[in-house]
Structure 1
Amino acid sequence: MAKRIGVLTGGGDCPGLNAVIRAVVKSACGLGWEVVGFEDGFTGVVEERLTPRVLDLAAVRGILDRGGTILGTSNKANPFRYAVHRGDSFVEADLSDQTIERLHRLGVDCLVCIGGDGTLKIAHQLAQKGFPVVGCPKTIDNDLSDTDVTFGFDTARSTATDAVGKLHTTAESHDRVMVLEVMGRDTGHLALHAAIAGGADAVLIPEVPYRIEPVCEMIRRRSARGQTFSIVVVAEGAAPAGGTQAVAESAAAIPGRGVVRLGGAGKVAADLLSQHVTDHEIRVTVLGHLARGGMPTAYDRLLGSRFGCGAVELIERGQFDHMVALQGNDIVARPLSSASVTRFVDVQGQLVRDARKLGIVFGDER
């Protein structure tokens, strides 16, 4: 029987999304199935005004190496907590039943949800209500527990590493302490990888509440050796011991978002440093969305393509309420019920131990 597959990209954008879309379309078309794309994440599924796009081979030609997503995305559209206009304000409403009813009306047999923990959690909730769903894990944070790697991480890691390298030259020229804030939400994978690969002197991550004194001591030791500059990489979720994460926007600020928007961790660390380090200028650079943008690396194109092919295989087998994942070198199926479990940096693990051997300070040293 001919199938009609819906596909959407939810949450934040990241490099490699188009590779997944392309692989879903090419694999499905090879089976004689039809693919339609919903725009702007779950917004395109909920809103009647948005007509899904037919995705044929012509529609995905030339998108393999393009950043972003041709379908658009949203991290504010949750069918179970959808922002609807009531009077002079917005309230959250459960529109999941209407969403499933619309999918049936559109003749969609299955939905492929490409996204991070929030998107995959919504996908699981839809599956629990009886609609066939499969997932593809995506995040530059690399923090999903059921897959060894998420596509998008390698490109973001390369961008952040390049930023550390560029800061080296300007920091050395001006004898400055440069603080680089990178994304990562509640985990420090991106910051840690970039710090090691870029040759940073300190890294502050959410998994290790930091004290500023060890970082200051590292700067003084370097100065005494004639190294008159230092690089500190700060994950956006990092916080001082006894303190809280720096928040740019609360969860309640935007109906339907459901999570806080972090920001300002780099400035918090820089302000603390400035109280103790007076013989260096301290400057903060926020990498921000630069880590999400640009052409995906070959690895992310490869992994995204494999995930897209794997998602169609799950549909072909009827293995719904599952997502594709990378285990070793194999693409495997994992239940969506555990897809949103966060994988934190192992503070006792080999990568952290290696970073310490390289002299990188975490702010917890005695």
Structure 2
Amino acid sequence: MANKKRIGILTSGGDCAGLNAVIRAVVRHAVGTYEWEVVGICQATHGLMTRPPQIMTLGIEQVDSWLMLGGTVLGTTNKGNPFAFPMSDGTTIDRSQEIIDGYHQLNLDALIGIGGDGSLAILRRLAQQGDINFVAIPKTIDNDVNITEFSIGFDTAVSVATEAIDRLHFTAASHSRVMILEVMGRDAGHIALNSGIAGGAQIILIPEIPYKLENIYNKVRRRQKIGKNFSVAVVSEAVCTQSGETVQKMEQFGECRLGGIGQYFANEIAQATGAETRVTVLGHLQRGGISSPLDRVLGSAFGVAAVDLIATGQFDRMVTWQNREVRSVPITEAIKDYRAVDPQDTLVKTARGLGICLGDR
């Protein structure tokens, strides 16, 4: 074909369910419909830093079994900003040009990048600097990318958290305990809010809604008075202590990550109400595993739409899900703000209507 193209695709940032569904859709549409060549770039931008670049040539038969797979077959990384790349001696250097050169060495006509707001901001900056035709696809279990109702990975994360709540209910009732489930969420409480409603939690705490411990105690006490000697609480990892302190834990290589707020609430609730408390931290269980049907459908729709954007020469845009259809918006609009839970959101009102305590009243 005279218009035959060679396009690249990479996954960047943390992994999540649905990524392989996107890759599969891109390959099936680009190869099957347009007869293009698709190159998978391994380990995100790190694959473009190596010489020769670390790639996989992707064909339809190769990717057809990837639809339900969790994680990303291409591999990914959420470390090493290429504009300030950390070196072994503690210094940082700008390695952006290495990535740009790697892209051009592959003779690519366009690049599809799947990432969250942080990854997409870096990829767009690289694209602008290096004359790269770039199209973005949003993925994050936190669902905090702006101007899209859903991002890849969110629905699976909510499903996993909901199943955990379902299971915790039985133990909570059997032992008259307050069971606290700590879920991921970085800066946004979408996972906690959605899974808490779906799982029938009595208490949901998210960073967007300030709380008072006394309100939480009162919810537990009211249930105790009517013979409900158990409660299930869902807490987003980004919630701070009542005094405003972020709860973090030190990990390997000296990194501090969110985690531990569930134990903080367990200690406070136990002391104030006398209730026996237990904490479950889901952690990376929310990101792994087989993708949900919605993430597979969404990933497929996003992959097809991204290829069509390339075919029509529409670059520097991100595909989104709005009003039950795929649209595209300028990447700058999508990444300029993150999408937090609006305290007046329909689901917040739903939670209140169901009698769920959000900690502020």
Superposition TM-score tier, normalisation by shorter sequence:
over 0.9
- Give the secondary structure class of the aligned counterpart of 2:166: helix
Aligned to 1:124: 124
Q: Does the Cα contact within 8 Å between 1:212 and 1:240 map onto a contact in 2?
A: no
Paired with 1:310 and 1:78, the residues of 2 have a C-alpha distance of: 28
Contact kept, 8 Å, 1:126 with 1:133, in 2: the verdict is no
Runs of 4+ in 1 over 6 A off after TM superposition: none
Q: How far apart are the structure 2 equivalents of 1:104 and 1:197?
A: 47
Matches of 1:289 and 1:332 in 2, distance apart? Answer: 30
Partner of 1:357: 353
Q: Do the aligned residues in 2 keep the contact of 1:141 with 1:184 (CA within 8 Å)?
A: yes
How far apart are 1:49 and its partner, in Å?
5.9
Q: How does 1:107-122 map to 2 (within 5 A)?
A: 107-122=107-122
1:164-203 matches, within 5 Å, as 164-203=165-204
1:70 to 55, 70, 73: 73
Over 3 Å counting, the alpha-carbon distance change for 1:154 and 1:21 in structure 2 is same
Conservation of the 8 A alpha-carbon contact between 1:17 and 1:304: yes
Give 2:6's aligned residue. Answer: 4
1:329 & 1:115 partners in 2: Cα distance?
21
User: Which residue of the partner structure matches residue 14 of structure 1?
Assistant: 16
The 1:252–1:314 alpha-carbon spacing in structure 2 relative to 1, beyond 3 Å, is farther
Per-residue CA shift, 1:272-300, capped at 9, x if unaligned? 2223122x211100011111111111111
Match of 1:84?
87
Deviations 1:122-176 (A, max 9, x none): 1211222122111000011111111111121111111111111100000111111
2:95 counterpart residue number: 95
| SS, match of residue 326 in structure 1 | strand
Query: Would the aligned equivalents of 1:249 and 1:262 in 2 still touch at CA under 8 Å?
Result: no
Deviation at 1:251, TM superposition (A): 12
Q: Is the 8 A contact 1:27 1:309 kept in 2?
A: yes
Matched, 1:216 2:211: no
Residue 261 of structure 1 and its aligned partner are, at CA, apart by 2.3
Q: 1:38 aligns with which of 34, 41, 44?
A: 41
Q: Does 1:289 align with 2:289?
A: no
- Choose which of 295, 304, 308 in structure 1 pairs with 2:303: 308
Q: Supply the AA of the counterpart residue of 1:319.
A: Q
In structure 2, what is the equivalent of residue 257 of structure 1? Answer: none
Q: 1:299 aligned to 2:294?
A: yes
Is residue 205–residue 237 contact of structure 1 (8 Å, CA) maintained in 2?
Answer: yes
How far residue 242 of structure 1 moved from its aligned partner, in angstroms, is 3.2
Residue 344 of structure 1 aligns with an amino acid whose one-letter code is A
- 1: CA distance, partners of 2:180 / 2:157: 18
Q: CA deviation at 1:250?
A: 8.6
Match of 2:66, SS? coil
**CA–CA distance in 2 between the matches of 1:253 and 1:26?**
42
- Look up the equivalent residue of 1:184 and give its one-letter code: G
Name 2:338's counterpart in structure 1.
342
TM-score w.r.t. length of structure 2: 0.95
- Which string of whole-angstrom CA distances, capped at 9 and with x for unpartnered residues, describes residues 322-364 of structure 1? 1111111221111111222211111122211110111111111
- 1:261 correspondence with 2:245: no
Q: Which letter does structure 2 place at the counterpart of 1:304?
A: G
Unmatched segments (≥5 aa) in structure 1: 255-259
- Answering whether residue 157 of structure 2 is matched by residue 163 of structure 1, we say no
Q: Amino acid of the residue matched to residue 10 of structure 2?
A: L
**Greater mean alpha carbon deviation, residues 178-187 or residues 147-156:** 147-156
Structure 1 residues 68 and 250, CA gap change in structure 2 (3 angstroms): closer
Partner of 2:147: 146
What is the CA-CA distance between 1:32 and the residue it aligns to? 1.6
TM norm structure 1: 0.93
Q: How does 1:24-63 map to 2 (within 5 A)?
A: 24-29=26-31, 30-48=33-51, 51-63=54-66
Q: Percent identity between the aligned chains? A: 48
Letter in 1 for 2:106: L
Task: Assess if the C-alpha contact under 8 Å between 2:140 and 2:153 holds in 1.
Answer: yes
- Count residues with an aligned counterpart: 356
Aligned with 1:271 (options 259, 263, 267): 267
> What is the CA–CA distance in structure 2 between the aligned matches of 1:90 and 1:4, rounded to whole Å?
38
